[in-house]
Structures are given as C-alpha cells and as structure tokens.
C-alpha cells in the first residue's frame, strides 16, 4: 500500500465503491497529500453531501459529516461558525453543489465564509444513474435528456466569482499536482475558496454524453478540453469553443470574512464597531 494510504486511509470504509476509471480516486490521493503536507489531519473537518464525489473525503480518516444532498455547505458553515479554528473543507458533485445546493453555494460565497468547497464536475448526476445536471453540456444526451439537453450549463467558476468567492480555481483529474497545490492555497486562503475539478465518469457521462465508456478515452477527453488561462488569452472565440480554461482564476484578499465579522460584533457587544449601514456603502 502507498505510504500515504497506509497513514490516512479509513480502512473501515472499505471496500471503496468508485467505478473503474473514475476520477474520484485521483482526488482522494491529492487530498491525502495535502493533509500530509499541511499536517492538518487532526484539525480538518470534512463535510460532504450525497453523490459519488461526496465519498471522496470518507476515505481519509479525519473528522467528517457526510450530510444530505445539496446541504453540505450550510452544515459546513455551522461547523466553521462554532469552531472557527477548524479547517473546513466541503466535497460535492456538480449536482450537489450547483443543482440542489445552488442557493447555499451562492450565499456562502457572498458571505465569504472561510472554507474550501471542491466541486467535482463530471457533467452529470453520476450516483443516481445519469440524469442531466446544471453542468451537462447543451444537447448532451443523458437519461433525462434522451433527445439532447435543451438547457445550457452553468460556468460554476464564473458563478462563484460573481457571488463573491475570494479564491477560484479550476483543474482536471489530469492535473493531480496542481490539484494538490490548489487545495493547499485554498486552505491557506482566508475566505470562501472554490475549486472545480473536471472529472471523467466513464460509466455515466462518458458513455451517455461524450460517446465512450472507456476509462482512458474518458480521461483523455477531459484532459483535451482543458486550456491553461495564459494560453486561452491568445486564442480566438472559435478556437475556444468546447474548451474550458484551467488555472488559478480569481483571488481577492482582504474582504471581510463571516466568522471574523460575527465574532467581532459579538465581542464588541454593540460598542466600538459601527453598525451604521450607511458607512458601509462605498
């Protein structure tokens, strides 16, 4: 067994249940490396919703709440507010995060809660058998869009930025080292950090949307869609059709963070801190 797995794998959660060729295993491995490098196994709290990707942190033997579909972020907000010294990290699928959980997602970004949300985007509801998600490409064939998806997908990173997230990055499962770096940057960033990871799902989106259930082909399709932001800047709109930009997309420092604000207001008890909303309008 790999030394990191030897050290951090939650053995009582075995056997793992990811399909052959699923990208989620790569993310488990990046997470173990992150926990090791930052030495945070005892101070991290994972929160996840329901879905295949919600199982990622279950295989790391740290504190975890495996909560409800779409509700990981409010549960994580509660953990952070009651225990602000915790490193709080949420793992969710695309359906979990921007489908049923979309409203929680935008408000956590607006509040700038100090947590890291990882959204594994496989472009589909994987666990429940391949229904269309808000990330399914236009005209993509799924179990609930057999004639092709009539809707257009969200760009979750743009959504996070617009809602107020202060760290936003996107990588793919073909970038395990960059995922690890992004995890570390996001954890060390004060505020709401969002990382989207494009991942292959040979069983559902590979087979239904992208035309191949072969793990290697599914992986290569994800990899080939990705264009680093520096290169994308020199590409035309036509060249970028069907491509997705990857990299560290957005960082803002210094925006007030929710826990700091709440505790400062509580400690001041109404003294010394202006609560005049007119002063806050810039």
Ligand X SMILES: Cc1ncc(C[n+]2csc(CCOP(=O)(O)OP(=O)(O)O)c2C)c(N)n1
Q: From the list 26, 87, 112, 122, which residue makes contact with Mg ion (rule: CB under 5 A)?
A: 122
By CB under 6 A, residue 128 contacts ligand X = yes
Q: Length of the chain, please?
A: 282
Task: Enumerate residues 133-152 that contact ligand X by CB under 6 A.
Answer: 133
Separation in Å, CA 52 to CA 9, 55, 124: 17, 6, 11
Residue 52: name its binding partner from ligand X, Mg ion, none (Cβ under 5 to 8 Å by kind): ligand X
Q: Is beta strand 87-93 parallel, antiparallel or unpaired with respect to 63-66?
A: unpaired
Helices (H), the chain: 3-8, 24-38, 72-82, 94, 102-111, 156-163, 176-188, 207-208, 215-225, 229-232, 258-268, 277-280
Cis peptide before 188 (omega within 30 of 0): no
Least distance in angstroms from the C-beta of 27 to ligand X: 11
Contact 225, 242 (CB under 8 A): yes
Shortest-Cβ-distance residue relative to ligand X:
93
Least distance in angstroms from the C-beta of 212 to Mg ion: 18
How far is residue 158's CA from residue 11's CA, in Å, rounded to a whole number?
38
Residue 215: name its binding partner from Mg ion, ligand X, none (Cβ under 5 to 8 Å by kind): none
Least distance in angstroms from the C-beta of 98 to Mg ion: 10
Both structure tokens of 247 = 């990299």
Q: From the list 49, 59, 94, 99, which residue makes contact with Mg ion (rule: CB under 5 A)?
A: 94
Write the interaction track for Mg ion spanning residues 74-93; mark x where CB under 5 A is met and - where it is not.
Answer: -------------------x
Q: What are phi and psi of 266, to 5 degrees?
A: -65, -45
Contacts of 207 (CB under 8 A, 6+ apart): 130, 213
Contact 45, 62 (CB under 8 A): yes
Least distance in angstroms from the C-beta of 93 to ligand X: 2
Place of tokens 């985007």: 121
Least distance in angstroms from the C-beta of 76 to ligand X: 16
Total binding residues for ligand X by CB under 6 A? 18
Residue 112 or 131 having the CB closest to ligand X: 131
Cis peptide before 189 (omega within 30 of 0): no
Residue 101 or 191 having the CB closest to ligand X: 101
Write the interaction track for ligand X spanning residues 91-120; mark x where CB under 6 A is met and - where it is not.
Answer: --xxxx---x-------------------x
Write the interaction track for ligand X spanning residues 37-76; mark x where CB under 6 A is met and - where it is not.
Answer: -------------xxxx---------------x-------
């Amino acid at each position: 067994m790999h030394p990191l797995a030897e050290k951090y794998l939650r053995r009582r959660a075995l056997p793992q249940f990811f399909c052959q060729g699923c990208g989620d295993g790569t993310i488990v491995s990046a997470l173990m490396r992150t926990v090791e490098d930052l030495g945070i196994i005892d101070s991290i709290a994972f929160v996840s919703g329901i879905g295949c990707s919600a199982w990622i942190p279950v295989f790391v033997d740290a504190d975890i709440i495996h909560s409800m579909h779409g509700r990981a972020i409010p549960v994580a907000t509660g953990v952070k507010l009651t225990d602000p010294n915790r490193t709080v990290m949420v793992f969710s699928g695309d359906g979990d995060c921007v489908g049923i959980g979309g409203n929680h997602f935008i408000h956590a970004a607006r509040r700038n809660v100090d947590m890291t949300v990882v959204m594994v985007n496989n472009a589909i509801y994987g666990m429940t058998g391949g229904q269309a998600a808000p990330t399914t490409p236009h005209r993509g064939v799924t179990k609930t869009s057999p004639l092709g998806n009539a809707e257009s997908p969200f760009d979750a990173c743009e959504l996070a930025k617009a809602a107020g997230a202060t760290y936003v990055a996107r990588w793919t499962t073909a970038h395990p080292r960059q995922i690890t770096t992004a995890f570390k940057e996001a954890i060390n960033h004060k505020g709401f950090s969002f990382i989207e990871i494009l991942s292959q799902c040979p069983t559902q989106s590979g087979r239904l949307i992208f035309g191949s259930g072969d793990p290697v082909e599914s992986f290569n399709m994800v990899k080939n869609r990705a264009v680093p932001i520096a290169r994308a800047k020199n590409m035309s709109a036509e060249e970028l059709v069907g491509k997705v930009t990857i990299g560290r997309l957005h960082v803002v420092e210094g925006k007030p963070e929710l826990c700091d604000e709440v505790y400062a207001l509580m400690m001041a008890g109404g003294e010394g801190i202006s609560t005049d909303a007119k002063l806050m309008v810039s």
